Amino acid sequence: MQAVRSILVVLDPHHAHSRALTRAKLIAGVTGARLHLLMCDKKQEHSALLSLLRSQLHDDGYDNVSHEQIWKGSLHESIIAVQQAEGCELVIKEHSPDNPLRKALLTPSDWKLLRLCPSAVLMVKSERPWTGGVILAAVDVGNQDEDHRRLHASIIDHGFAIAGLTKGELHVISAHPSPMLSASDPVLQLRESIEGRYREACKAFQAEFDISDDRLHVAEGPADVLIPYTEQKCDAVVTIIGTVSRTGISGALIGNTAEVVLDALEGDVLVLKSEEAVQHLTELAQA
């Protein structure tokens, strides 16, 4: 989080009070990051409001603030265009859930942003303060390839950074699959052997990242069910999720965990991407 030098804050044209701006002020207050306020609206002019917000931020001690209004075809395309132009490492936006029928027919705009934005994205869902709260980091300990290892390190680093920033407590959730009798690997055919493999992987993970037993939650089942369950159990204020698959981000893969759990989680959601995904999405955005 300390590496974040520039934050893109997406404002809602219909609501003067912005949860996204509240979170951005919290992070920028500690990191000294520049704030770039963005209003995406093709119908109404918002320059007066943006100037007022900038003035208020300056009075509050935030000296490095810029703003703009833009519209480039769609909400997510507008946000990504500005993120690229401004070089922002973090996008903060209040999550706007779609109704189930609309979601079934059309891919939600926030899902498209999570898939296609090259930077980290913080979806703000709650007004609860982060101070003293639980930060939940979701990792797939069973995947030990290099991309996942780097992504895990980034997720845990961000988790510790936010916990330090808020004087909170970092917890980690890792889900492992249920037995599959048809699996070619005999280990994946028995519950005991699957759990044993994950427990061993967890010991190495805990030693590497200094995660105590009482803050590690390992369970059997689909991640999109266990992550919201663990969030509610721990009463987490923010959940950090990573995604590594190139296909899962840039393609129309509805099953992406970050997308599926977005509406199920009650607190804020920070979505990070692997280095490979960031490079691929940057190329797409600049094409």
Q: What's the CATH code of the domain at 213?
A: 3.40.50.12370
Q: Is residue 88 domain-shared with residue 146, that is, in the same domain? A: no
Q: Whole-angstrom Cα distance, residue 163 to residue 117? A: 25
Number of independent structural domains in the chain: 2
Average pLDDT over residues 195-209: 80
Q: Whole-angstrom Cα distance, residue 11 to residue 214? A: 38
Q: Is residue 181 domain-shared with residue 265, that is, in the same domain? A: yes
The model's confidence at residue 103, banded by pLDDT at 50, 70 and 90, is low
Identify the bridge partners of residue 6 per DSSP, sorted by sequence position: 34
The model's confidence at residue 244, banded by pLDDT at 50, 70 and 90, is low
Q: Is residue 264 domain-shared with residue 184, that is, in the same domain? A: yes
Residue 101 has pLDDT above 60, yes or no: no
Q: Whole-angstrom Cα distance, residue 139 to residue 218? A: 10
Among 137, 133, 131, smallest CA distance to 216 is for 137
pLDDT the model gives residue 252: 37
pLDDT the model gives residue 260: 79
- Domain containing 79 equals 6-94
The model's confidence at residue 250, banded by pLDDT at 50, 70 and 90, is very low
Residue 100 has pLDDT above 80, yes or no: no
Q: Is residue 278 domain-shared with residue 212, that is, in the same domain? A: yes
Residue 285 has pLDDT above 60, yes or no: yes
Q: Is residue 146 domain-shared with residue 256, that is, in the same domain? A: yes
Q: What's the CATH code of the domain at 42?
A: 3.40.50.620
The model's confidence at residue 56, banded by pLDDT at 50, 70 and 90, is very high
Q: Is residue 140 domain-shared with residue 83, that is, in the same domain? A: no
Q: Is residue 166 domain-shared with residue 263, that is, in the same domain? A: yes
Mean pLDDT score across all residues of the chain: 84
- Residues 112-140, buried b or exposed e (16+ Cβ, 10 A)? bbbbbbbbbbbbbbbeeebeebbbbbbbb
The model's confidence at residue 108, banded by pLDDT at 50, 70 and 90, is confident
pLDDT in tens, 152-177: 899 999 999 999 989 999 999 988 76
Higher-confidence residue: 256 or 60? 60
pLDDT the model gives residue 102: 55
Residue 183 has pLDDT above 60, yes or no: no
Of 35, 63, 94, the one marking the end of a domain is 94
The model's confidence at residue 251, banded by pLDDT at 50, 70 and 90, is very low
Q: Whole-angstrom Cα distance, residue 173 to residue 218? A: 6
Rounded to two decimals, the pTM is 0.88
Average pLDDT over residues 250-273: 75
Q: Whole-angstrom Cα distance, residue 108 to residue 104? A: 9
Q: Whole-angstrom Cα distance, residue 176 to residue 199? A: 10
